[in-house]
């Protein structure tokens, strides 16, 4: 299919764009870069090496600092310019001992993990009757005496979706549940994991925060099979008693963004920013979230750099502390948000194939967005909006009106793995990762291109 489309495209007469330094057939050059990128190995090696040689890298911890050191070494070794770290301070929440023990009516352990910013239980845990709700709205509607002094459970029924939108729709138990439970006097809360793997006992963590005035309470996520188990107990008309231990602590720490450049022929031209995030949740090795994203965008930038010199600079940003509140994106925005950027892009939705391209490049640049669509089509990528772009760390700057583009990945199986202990290299499909690299290489060739041979210095040109 891809080959057929590529053939068709090559045969179609494309309108020439006004690019004074472009070679005679710029689309042909991009097609060659795109095809070569389908055999890319940089992204896999970056993903494997980061998840192996650093592993989990919770924001603000010593592990994330090791990841930054690793990143500086690696980006430098790959030949990128001006590799630097922009550090910032942040609060650091870290989990300790965790256990959920049903004391009755059917004594057994359930698999639980604390949500980020959960209050800590005492060492011996808290013990209480569990009261179950099907939704946050049902909890909101409950009389406080039904909740006071108890442990709240909230379920939901999140399905898989290609665009991941179900994560927004079904995430309320995690995001608002703890606050509402606290306001009603609950001593703790456990929610059904906001994840779509219903079969494995991989609790899905993630951050939440208590609304102003709500006293933080211990808040955890049960693995889906354990949530099923609890619901079966309720279905039997029983009132389970749970001893919940979720120890945690909050300290101060530092995170930082690791930044590297691909220099351009015109050093004054606004950069194309390609981002990902370096931090990960602590239970897995952060392979799909987001080592793969760093692998993808960095591999694409490397391929452009190796092909020659782009017209505009490419700025690679491995953001720090995304998971716990977009700290890296906000720090970058504070420092650089007023600088002109030609486009902002970020890869942070796993490693499965790109299926659609959206862009919002601003007034007078629709043709650039359409060209992107046309040159991505041979990868099976469908044209999306020309008035939308999104991203996690870059989201606030896109909100400020900076131009951007989004390569939308297939998220069908993303929430099976995301934020769980199962987010490891084992979940990455090498072929789909390569398709991502091809899409990003193509996008960079369009947005930062054309790519021209580097000026030859006094040394003999490499063959």
d(CA 411, CA 289): 12
**201 or 374, CB closer to a second copy?**
201
182: part of which helix (H) or strand (E)? helix 177-183
**102 or 219, CB closer to a second copy?**
102
Q: Tell me the closest approach of the beta carbon of residue 292 to a second copy, in angstroms.
A: 15
What single string gives the DSSP state of each residue in 379-405? Answer: GTPEE--SS----STTHHHHHTT--EE
**370 or 413, CB closer to a second copy?**
413
Q: Tell me the closest approach of the beta carbon of residue 226 to a second copy, in angstroms.
A: 8
**198 or 365, CB closer to a second copy?**
198
Burial of 309-348, coded b for 16+ CB within 10 Å and e otherwise, reads bbbbbbbbbbbbbbbbbbbbbbbbbeebeeeebbbbbbbb
d(CA 304, CA 314): 9
Q: Tell me the closest approach of the beta carbon of residue 242 to a second copy, in angstroms.
A: 14
d(CA 179, CA 170): 16
d(CA 51, CA 65): 14
- At 46, list the tokens: 């970056």
Residues 6+ apart with CB under 8 A from 16: none
Q: Tell me the closest approach of the beta carbon of residue 53 to a second copy, in angstroms.
A: 5
The SS3 call for residue 255 is strand
Q: Tell me the closest approach of the beta carbon of residue 196 to a second copy, in angstroms.
A: 13
Q: Tell me the closest approach of the beta carbon of residue 77 to a second copy, in angstroms.
A: 15
**146 or 241, CB closer to a second copy?**
241
The SS3 call for residue 172 is helix
The SS3 call for residue 420 is coil
**279 or 358, CB closer to a second copy?**
279
d(CA 249, CA 95): 7
**101 or 366, CB closer to a second copy?**
101
**Burial (Cβ within 10 Å: 0-12, 13-18, ≥19) of residue 284:** buried
Do the Cβ atoms of 321 and 383 come closer than 8 Å? no
Q: Tell me the closest approach of the beta carbon of residue 350 to a second copy, in angstroms.
A: 14
Q: Tell me the closest approach of the beta carbon of residue 193 to a second copy, in angstroms.
A: 13
Q: Tell me the closest approach of the beta carbon of residue 417 to a second copy, in angstroms.
A: 9
Other CB atoms within 10 A of residue 245 CB: 22
Q: Tell me the closest approach of the beta carbon of residue 124 to a second copy, in angstroms.
A: 15
Cα 416 to Cα 174, 342, 350, 392, 429, distances in angstroms: 16, 35, 11, 19, 14
Q: Tell me the closest approach of the beta carbon of residue 159 to a second copy, in angstroms.
A: 16
- At 452, list the tokens: 């021209």
**178 or 195, CB closer to a second copy?**
195
**138 or 426, CB closer to a second copy?**
426
1: part of which helix (H) or strand (E)? none
Query: What is the dihedral sign for C-alpha 134, 139, 145, 149?
Result: positive
**Residues making contact with a second copy (CB under 8 A):** 48, 52-56, 63, 66, 105-109, 111, 198-202, 224-225, 228-229, 232-233, 236, 284-285, 421-422, 424-427
**25 or 199, CB closer to a second copy?**
199
Do the Cβ atoms of 275 and 406 come closer than 8 Å? no
**62 or 137, CB closer to a second copy?**
62
């Amino acid at each position: 299919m891809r080959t057929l489309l590529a053939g068709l495209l090559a045969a179609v007469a494309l309108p020439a764009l006004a690019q004074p330094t472009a070679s005679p057939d710029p689309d042909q050059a991009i097609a060659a870069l795109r095809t070569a990128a389908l055999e890319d190995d940089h992204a896999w090696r970056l993903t494997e090496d980061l998840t192996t040689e650093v592993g989990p890298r919770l924001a603000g911890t010593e592990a994330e600092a090791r990841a930054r050191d690793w990143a500086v070494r690696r980006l430098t070794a790959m030949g990128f310019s001006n590799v630097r770290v922009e550090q910032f301070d942040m609060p650091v929440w870290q989990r300790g001992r965790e256990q959920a023990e049903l004391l009755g009516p059917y004594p057994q352990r359930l698999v639980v993990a604390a949500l980020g910013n959960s209050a800590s239980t005492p060492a011996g845990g808290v013990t209480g009757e569990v009261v179950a709700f099907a939704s946050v709205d049902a909890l909101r509607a409950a009389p406080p005496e039904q909740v006071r002094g108890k442990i709240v459970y909230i379920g939901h029924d999140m399905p898989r979706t290609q665009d991941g939108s179900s994560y927004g729709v079904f995430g309320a138990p995690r995001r608002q549940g703890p606050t509402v439970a606290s306001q009603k006097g609950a001593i703790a809360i456990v929610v059904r994991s906001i994840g779509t793997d219903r079969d494995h006992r991989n609790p899905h963590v993630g951050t939440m925060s208590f609304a102003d005035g709500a006293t933080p309470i211990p808040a955890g996520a049960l693995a889906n099979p354990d949530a099923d188990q609890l619901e079966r107990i309720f279905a039997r008309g029983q009132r389970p008693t749970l001893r919940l231990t979720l120890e945690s602590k909050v300290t101060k720490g530092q995170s930082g963004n690791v930044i590297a450049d691909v220099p351009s022929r015109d050093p004054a031209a606004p950069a194309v920013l390609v981002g990902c995030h370096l931090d990960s949740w602590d239970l897995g090795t952060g392979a799909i979230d987001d080592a793969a994203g760093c692998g993808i965008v960095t591999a694409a930038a490397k391929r452009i750099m190796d092909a020659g010199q782009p017209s505009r600079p490419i700025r690679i940003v491995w953001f720090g502390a995304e998971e716990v509140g977009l700290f890296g994106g906000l720090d970058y925005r504070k420092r650089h948000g007023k600088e002109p950027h030609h486009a902002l892009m970020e890869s942070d939705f796993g490693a499965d194939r790109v299926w659609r391209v959206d862009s919002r490049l601003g007034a007078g640049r629709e043709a650039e967005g359409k060209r992107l669509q046309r040159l991505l089509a041979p990868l099976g990528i469908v044209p999306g909006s020309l008035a939308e772009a999104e991203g996690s760390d870059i989201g606030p700057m896109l909100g400020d009106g900076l131009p951007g583009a989004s390569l939308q990945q297939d998220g069908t199986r993303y929430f099976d793995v995301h934020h769980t202990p199962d987010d490891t290299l084992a979940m990455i499909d090498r072929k789909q990762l390569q398709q991502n690299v091809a899409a990003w290489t193509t996008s960079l060739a369009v947005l930062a291109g054309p790519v021209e041979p580097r000026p030859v210095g006094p040394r003999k040109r490499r063959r």
